Structure 1
Amino acid sequence: MAKRIIQVDEKVPLKQSIPLSIQHMFAMFGASVLVPFLFGINPAIVLLMNGIGTLLFIFITKGKAPAYLGSSFAFIAPANIVIAKFGYPYALGGFVVTGFCGCLLALLIKKIGTKWIDIVLPSAAMGPVVALIGLELSSSAASTAGLLDKTVDPRNALVFFVTLGVAVIGSVCFRKFLSVIPILIAIICGYVTALCVGIVDLSPVMQASFFSLPHFQAPKFDFNAVMMILPVLLVITSEHIGHQIVTSEVIGRDLLKDPGLHRSIFADNFSSMLSGLVGSVPTTTYGENIGVMAITGVYSVQVIAGAAILSIICSFIGPLSALIQSIPGPVIGGISFLLYGMIGTSGLRILVDNHVDYAKSSNLVLTSVVFVTGLSGASISIGATVLSGMVLACIVGMLLSLLFYLLDRAHLLNPDA
C-alpha cells in the first residue's frame, strides 16, 4: 500500500503535529548550531532567527513552499576571514548587504521569469546537480558521527548504527502514525543508547538558567569586508535553486512557478538580511528537512511552522536548548546518513521521471561532466569565496547547457546530439 501523503496545505491534528514538528527541529538542529559555534557566538540567537526566518519564508511564499531555514554553511570561509581581520560585527554587515542584494536579485527574477532555467538546467543537468546536494554531504554525515576519525570509538559506532538502523527499519516497517515519525523515534533510540554508553554530558542542562535572552548585536559596515562576503550570493543562489527543485520533486509540485522562484529567493535572502541586522548568521533552506519530507510523506507547512515556533521557544528556555545541544554527533550523523541519501536519490528520480534519453550525446555529456565536476574536488576561488562541489558543478552544467542550446539554435549539433 502506498504511504499516506500529507500535502503542503493540509492541517494535522495537534497531537500528531507536535511530534512531527519536533522531528523537523531535531533534523536541522545539529548542522544549524554548528555555524554559530564556528563563529564563536551563542547559538540561542541563531535558534531564534531560524524560527523567525522560517515563519517569514512560509508567509512570503503564501504557505505553498514547505521549507525550514537553518544556518548557511556557504558563508563560513569568507566570514571567518572577515571575523579574524575586522571582527564579527563587520561579518554581520556583509551578511546584511548580501541578503539585500539577494532580494534585488529576486525582483529581477520576477521581471524576467524562470524560463531560462529550462534552458540552462535541463533535466540531464538538473538531476545530477540535485543528486550532488546529498552526495557531497555524505562525508559530513560520516565525520559528524565520528566514523572518519583515525581510531573509531566503538561507542560512537554503536550509537550511529542504532540510530541509522532504527531510521531505516522504521521507514519501511512502522505503520500508522509511527510510519511518519521514524526520524524522531530513531533520534530518541540513538540518544538513549548514547546515554547508556556514556557519551552524553548532561551537566550543561543542569547548570543552564531556566530563562535567558539571546545575545543581540548590531552590524558594522566596511567596504572591503562586504566585498569579501558578497560573492557568496552566487553560491547561495545555486543552492537555493537546487533545493527548490528537489523539494518540487519530493512534493510533486513546481515551486519555481507557484509560489515562484522570486518569492522563495526573496524570502531566503530577506531572512538572512534580518538575521545579520540583529547578530545572527545567514539562513538557507535545509537539505535535512527536505530529507525528512521525502521519508515521511508529510509536507504540511503547519508542521514546519510548528518546528519554527519550537525553535523560537528553545532560544529562550535554557535547559531545553542545552538538552537539544547535548544530542551527540553519532546520533546526528546516523540520521544525516539517511536524509542526505534521500536527497541524492531525488536527483536520480528527476532523470527517471523526465525520461532523459542517454542515447543523445548532449544528455550523456551533461550528466557526466556535472557529476565529475561535483565529485572531483575541483574548486575555483573568487576572492575569499571558494566555488566547489555542487555549486561549481551547477555553474559548469549551466554554462555547458547554454552552449549546447546555442549550438542547437545555430544547427551545429550532429543528429545524435
Structure 2
Amino acid sequence: MNTEQTNLSSLRRGVVGVQFLFVAFGATVLVPLLVGLDPSTALFTAGIGTLIFHLVTKGKVPIFLGSSFAFIAPIIKSTELYGLPGTISGIAGVALVYFIMSALIKWQGNRFIERLFPPVVVGPVIILIGISLAGSAVDMAETNWALAFISLFTAIFVSIMGKGLFKLIPIFSGIVAGYIVALIFYDVDLASVRDAAWIGLPQFVTPVFSWEAILFMIPVAIAPVIEHIGDVYVVNTVAGKDFVKDPGLHRTMLGDGLACCVAGLLGGPPVTTYSEVTGAMSITKVTDPRVIRIAAITAIVFSLIGKISALLKTIPQAVLGGLMLLLFGTIATAGVANMLKNKVDLSDTRNIVIFSMTMTLGIGGAAFTWGEFSLSGIGLAAIVGVVLNLVLPRGKSSDKSQS
C-alpha cells in the first residue's frame, strides 16, 4: 500500500511538473522569438538554469526560472550595436549584478538592497521596459491586424475569464489561437517543420567577449533583481516557509545569477523567477521543489525535439505583435502598480526629480559615449535613477515613501 501511494505521489508530481512547464512555456519561448534567439535554446537554458538554482539553494526553494522580459529591448539594441555573439557575452555578464547583490545581502542584509533600489527607482525602470518596444509591437501587429487582434483578444479573454491553471496561460493561449487561424485562413509555410529532425540539439551561440555589450546590459538587471526579491517573498507566503532565512536570499540571488551566466554562455536569454508558476502553486497547492525540477527536466527534453523549435519559428509576426501590445503595456502597468503599492509620494520634489529624469532619459534615448563605450536607453536611465537616489538629500516624505 505504501509503495502504491508512493507511486501515485510520484505520478502526481510528474503531472503537476509538466503543468508548471505548460504555464511558463509561452513566456519562455516568446522572448527568444522576439529577439532572434533559438526558442529551443531558451527552453534548454531555462531547464538547466532552474536545476542550477535548485542546486545552489539546496533543493529547498520551489522556483522555476524562465526567459526575462526585461531584456527584450536591450538585447535587440545590443545586437544592432555589438552583434549577436557580443550580446551573448553581455547576457552572461548580467550575472555580475546578481553576484554583487548576493554578496551585499550576505554582508549587509536585505535592508541595504531596499535602500539602494527603492520603488521610486524601480518603478520608472519597469515602466521604461514596458514602453520601450511599443513601436516594435505595433510594427509587428501591422503585418496582419486580423491575426494580431485574434491573439490579443484571446489573451485578454483568458486573463479575465479563465479559471484555475487556464487563467495563468494567456500568452500561450493567444499564440495557439492566432496560429490556428493563420493555418486555416493564411499561408503558413510548414516546410521547415517537415524537414526538421525529430531529435536535435538547440542552436547554441558562442559568445564573443565585449565589455561594451556587458556594460550595456548590466544596468537593466536592476529590475529583475528587485523582481527576484519580491518573488521569493511571495513564494514564502505560498509555501508557508521562510526561504529568506533558509537557505537565504543571498543563495537564491546567487543561484539566479549563475543561471543567467550559463544561459548567456549557451546563447539563451537571461532567466528570472516566474510569478506565473508561483500562481500555479497557489492553485494546485503543490509547493514541492521536486515538482519544479520535473518541469525543468521536461523543458530540457522538449528543447531536444527539433520539430518543436521549427514549429515555433513559423509563428507569424502578427501573432507575436498582438501579444506584445498587451504584454508590454502590462509590464509598464506593473511599474506604476509598484509605485502605488509602496505609496511613492510624487508631490515630493526629490521623487519627482528621480522619476522625471529616469523617464525622460529612457524615453528620449539619451546616450553617454566615451571612446568606443556607449551607454544608453534603459541602462543609462537606471544608473541615473540609482545615483540620484543616493546623492539627493532626503526630506521627511521621501523617507516615508521608501521605508
- TM-score normalised according to structure 1 size: 0.72
1:285 aligns with 2:272: yes
- Counterpart amino acid of 1:403? V
Query: 1:81-160 counterparts in 2 under 5 A?
Result: 88=85, 98=93, 101=96, 104-106=99-101, 108-109=103-104, 110-143=106-139, 146-147=140-141, 152-153=142-143, 156-160=144-148
2:300 is the alignment partner of 1:312: yes
Q: What fraction of aligned residue pairs are identical, expressed as a percent?
A: 29
Give the structure 1 partner of residue 22 of structure 2: 22
SS across alignment from 2:221: helix
Other-structure match for 1:63: 61
Query: In the TM superposition, what is the alpha-carbon distance from 1:159 to its structure 2 partner?
Result: 0.8
Residue of structure 1 aligned with 2:333, choices 333, 342, 345: 345
RMSD, aligned α-carbons: 4.1
Deviation at residue 75 of structure 1 after TM alignment: 5.7
Deviations 1:7-46 (A, max 9, x none): xxxx987656535522421222132245565xxxx66445
Offset, 1:127 = 2.1
Distance 2:83 2:334 in 1: 37
Report the equivalent of 1:241.
225
CA distance in 1, matches of 2:227, 2:79: 23
Q: In the TM superposition, what are the counterparts of 1:207-226 in structure 2 within 5 Å?
A: 207-214=195-202, 225-226=209-210
Runs of 5+ in structure 2 lacking a partner? 1-10, 399-403
Cα distance in 1 for partners of 2:121, 2:97 equals 24
Deviation larger for 364-373 or 392-401: 364-373
The question of whether the paired residues in 1 share the 8 Å contact of 2:215 and 2:375 is answered with no
Change (3 A) 1:394 1:248: farther
Match of 1:8 in 2: none
2:150 to 162, 171, 178: 162
Mark the CA change 1:349 to 1:58 in structure 2 (over 3 Å): closer, same or farther: farther
Q: Distance in 2 between matches of 1:202 and 1:102?
A: 41
1:266-320 per-position Cα deviation (integer Å, ceiling 9, x unaligned): 334323443465x43462328xx55787899769777765654343123221112
Q: What is the alpha-carbon distance in structure 2 between the residues aligned to residue 315 and residue 210 of structure 1?
A: 11
The aligned length equals 375
Secondary structure (helix, strand or coil) at the match of 1:231 reads helix
1:183-222 matches, cutoff 5 A: 183-214=171-202
* Deviation at residue 394 of structure 1 after TM alignment: 1.8
| 5+ long unaligned stretches in structure 1 | 1-10
Residue type of the alignment partner of 1:283:
P
Q: Comparing both structures, which one devotes a greater share of its residues to helix?
A: 2
Q: 1:295 to 1:327 in 2, by over 3 A?
A: farther
Offset, 1:80: 6.9
Q: Which residue of 1 aligns with 2:391?
A: 403
Please state if 1:180 is matched with 2:163: no
Which of 311, 320, 327 aligns to 1:332? It is: 320
